[in-house]
Chains A and B, each alone.
Chain A
Amino acid sequence: MKRPDKRWLTVGWIAIAAAALAAGPAAMSVQVKNGQVRATPSFLGQLIAPVSYGDRLPVLEQQGDWSKVTLSGGQTGWIHNSALSKKKIVMKAGGETADAGVSGEEVAHAGKGFNAQVEADFKSKNQNIDFSWVDKMEQIKVTPEAIQQFLKEGGIQPNEGGKP
């Protein structure tokens, strides 16, 4: 049997490598309201910068459940994968729209379907239901420093995910 010519294989590999370089690092979208980028791949890691819903972040590398991303200012840091989506999140009608040929599986529309407008309509139809405590609950936020101190004081040593 005739073997494939090695020279052609080399050409093939070069073409694949060039295509990968041209595509650049894969980008992911922030799918939470307020995301945090940290210095280390841990929730106890120091906060570097906040990121917002819909922000596209180029991913440099993966480590466990964390992705190392580049911020718009060029800084790099870590964000947990559960805050990221592969889909491009389109924020506004008529704004940055889906690329031609991009299917619905690759794009998510912010504010589609159940949104603040629908909640407002639900509230007007169910005026006996009070949302004030739901709003108050959402204001209760614990800082990474408080968590670190809490773990230390309680002699709690996380086995996974919490190591700075």
Chain B
Amino acid sequence: MKTPDSSLSLLAKTVAASVALALGAGCAAVTQVGTSIGQATGIVSAEQSESINRSAQAIEKTFQDITPEQEYYIGRSVAATVLNTYKPFDQQQANNYLNLLGQTIAQFSNKPETFGGYHMLLMDSDEINAFAAPGGLVMISRGMVRCCKTEDELVAVLAHEVSHVDHQHGLKAIRRGRLTSALTTLGATAGQTLGGAELAEVTKAFEGTIGDITSTMMNNGYSRTTEYEADKGAVTIMKKLGYNPAALIAMLEQMQTKLQPGGHDFAKTHPAPELRIAELKKLLGTPPAPPVLEARQKRFEKAMSGI
């Protein structure tokens, strides 16, 4: 016979497992399965089970509650934090061309309109790096541009970044539970000025949010699945826009030869180019390298001559 202690411990484990499932998967269905099992085995009461389901739903709702306006403010501070480490490359001609490409690309994504729109900027760094802040602020390094021999390849890089924005990968890096108080209880009324204590609490949640996103983007990297999702999104955008998606493979082949092992850039935060190429080939087969078109090549070389 089970002792009361072991029942309690089993209950605690089941509840913990259910909550962990809910947090990990972010999926109410999974939680409900977890709590149903708990209920069926008699170790979680209907009341306890309802409470677990309720908190899991609250967490999911919190993520959905990030409005495009809030995403915009998160993105601005993420971009400013990135630019605190990587100085901008202040060359108008190159940045204008990058925006011409980037803003055109964005119009063929699933989310062409964001609160503040898409804007691109070059970073003055030899590292091979690129960042997409929530809401559409995209920054790419000179080292990354040097992996691109053609306009089509630069389009592939930007389309991958736009795809991160489109899929809200940055927001998904926010630690679960971080936003609950900021989004549900504080500053709940439009146009209300926050008082001292309330403002301090929302700003704390905001700082934590920016930290979660920038540490993921700059240090830990997204999961492989997330990067493959962005590559797949890039292929879709390029096809819609009328660029050859094989340019993404060509760019990754060049990146493979340039990445330094142990580097603090894509060498650390992204799956190896060869793995990304293998995933892309599942989608595209083994396409021939895209032809170099004179008009595109001329404007690409002119704009990026200082890179």
Interface residues of chain A, those whose CB is within 8 Å of chain B, are 31-35, 43, 53, 80, 82-83, 85, 90-95, 108-119, 121-122, 125-126, 128-131, 133-134, 137-138, 140-142, 146-147, 150-151, 153-162
Contacts and interface: CB of A to CB of B under 8 A. Distances in A.
A118 B73 contact: yes
B67 A156 contact: no
Nearest to A109: B190
A163 to B, nearest CB: 11
A-B pairs with lowest CB-CB distance, top 9: A83-B113, A109-B190, A92-B191, A137-B119, A82-B113, A114-B70, A93-B191, A43-B107, A142-B103
Nearest to B194: A117
Interface residues of B, number: 64
Given A43-B107, A121-B203, A158-B240, A91 B73 contact: no
Interface stretch (B3-11, B34-42, B74-82, B222-230): B74-82
Interface of B: 67-70, 72-74, 76-77, 79-81, 83-84, 88, 95-96, 99-100, 103-104, 107-108, 110-117, 119-121, 137, 151, 182-183, 186-194, 199-200, 202-203, 206-207, 209-210, 239-243, 293, 295-296, 299
A154 B190 contact: no
Given A31-B67, A133-B83, A140 B193 contact: no
Nearest to A116: B73
Contacts of A115: 69-70, 73, 187
B189 A35 contact: no
Contact of B115 (A31, A111, A118, A156): A31
